């Protein structure tokens, strides 16, 4: 059973229904929106794994929504497949230029649609979502929810685990406290930024002397996971 959730954004209820049935048969969860504003609210709130976005929408166009999503770090990595009509062939190029991952031309068969979605999800799923990640002997197993070293399993709380998983799948890059709050705690949770410092301390303690150096403090900026000395 797939745990992936696809957001269908189309102002035509009949098309949304046809796509919803195809997704349900392929074991995907789905959400529906009729316009860009409704879609954006759902994206921020529910963080879907993929967005199926109609080019022509009432109000803001599909491309305007893509631009907005790609500018925001919290939504920039969500893959987007544009739905375009035959007469809008030129739009495909524009859609890809602003950051869409693929497009599909109407009319399309449900089977073709699901095959394209699967291909995009395969391309865009970051390593470490399902497969274990190993960095310098530190191994995180996402399926077993375990972190281990050559000496055995490390004990840590669920927030420290999520923090480490985010760091290990996004290494060598500085994240501010506010970005970490969005990525690890979720954008809708109100938590003070100092909370991040507390969990970073706990994570370093859980990693022990051998691995705590991987979580680096970057003064005035935030934190980074790096195998290089700061």
SS (H, E, C) 138-202: EEEECCCCEEEECCEEECCCHHHHHHHHHHHHCCCCCECHHHHHHHHHCCCCCCCCHHHHHHHHH
Confirm if 196 and 167 have CB atoms less than 8 A apart.
no
Average of per-residue pLDDT across 27-52: 94
- What is the reported pLDDT for 23? 94
| Mean pLDDT (the chain, rounded) | 86
pLDDT, residue 89, reads 58
Residue 1 clears pLDDT 60, i.e. is over it? no
Q: Using 50, 70 and 90 to split pLDDT, how confident is the model at 224?
A: very high
Q: Per-residue confidence at 31, pLDDT binned at 50, 70, 90?
A: very high
Interval 172-183: pLDDT, tens: 889 999 889 888
Q: pLDDT tens-digit profile of 61-117?
A: 888 999 999 888 888 888 999 888 766 556 666 767 777 888 888 888 888 899 888
Which of 40-44, 55-59, 128-132: highest mean pLDDT? 40-44
Q: Which among 4-18, 71-85, 118-132, 179-193 has the top mean pLDDT?
A: 4-18
- For the cut 70, the answer to whether the pLDDT of residue 126 exceeds it is no
Contacts of 127 (CB under 8 A, 6+ apart): 133, 169
Integer CA distances (angstroms), 86 to 17, 30, 94, 107, 199, in order: 21, 25, 15, 8, 52
Tokens 């994206």 -> residue: 43
Highest mean pLDDT among 20-24, 53-57, 187-191: 20-24
Q: Mean of the pLDDT values across residues 135-148?
A: 89
> Which pLDDT score, from 0 to 100, does residue 131 have?
78
- What mean pLDDT comes out for the span 10-17? 94
Model-level pTM? Answer: 0.56
According to the model, what pLDDT value does residue 51 have? Answer: 96
Compute CA distances 49 → 30, 85, 101, 230, whole Å: 10, 24, 13, 34
pLDDT above 50 (res 141): yes
Q: Per-residue pLDDT averaged across 2-21, rounded?
A: 92
């Amino acid at each position: 059973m797939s745990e992936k959730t696809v957001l269908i954004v189309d102002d035509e209820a009949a098309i949304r229904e046809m796509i919803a049935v195809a997704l349900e048969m392929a074991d995907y969860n789905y959400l529906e929106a009729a316009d860009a504003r409704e879609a954006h609210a759902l994206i921020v709130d529910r963080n879907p794994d993929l967005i199926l976005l109609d080019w022509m929408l009432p109000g803001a166009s599909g491309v305007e929504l893509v631009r907005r999503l790609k500018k925001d770090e919290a939504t920039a990595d969500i893959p987007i497949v544009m739905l375009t009509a035959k007469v809008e062939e030129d739009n495909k190029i524009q859609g890809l230029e602003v950051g869409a991952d693929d497009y599909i031309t109407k009319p399309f068969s449900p089977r073709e649609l699901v095959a394209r979605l699967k291909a995009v999800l395969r391309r865009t799923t970051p390593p470490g979502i399902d497969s274990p990640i190993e960095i310098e002997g530190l191994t995180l197993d996402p399926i077993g929810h375990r972190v281990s070293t050559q000496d055995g399993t490390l004990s840590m709380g669920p927030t420290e685990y999520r923090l480490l998983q985010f760091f290990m799948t996004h290494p060598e890059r500085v994240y501010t406290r506010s970005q970490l709050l969005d990525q690890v705690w979720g954008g809708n949770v109100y938590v003070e930024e100092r909370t991040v410092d507390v969990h970073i301390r706990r994570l370093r303690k859980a990693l022990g002397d051998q691995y705590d150096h991987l979580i680096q403090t970057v003064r005035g900026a935030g934190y980074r996971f790096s195998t290089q000395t700061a």
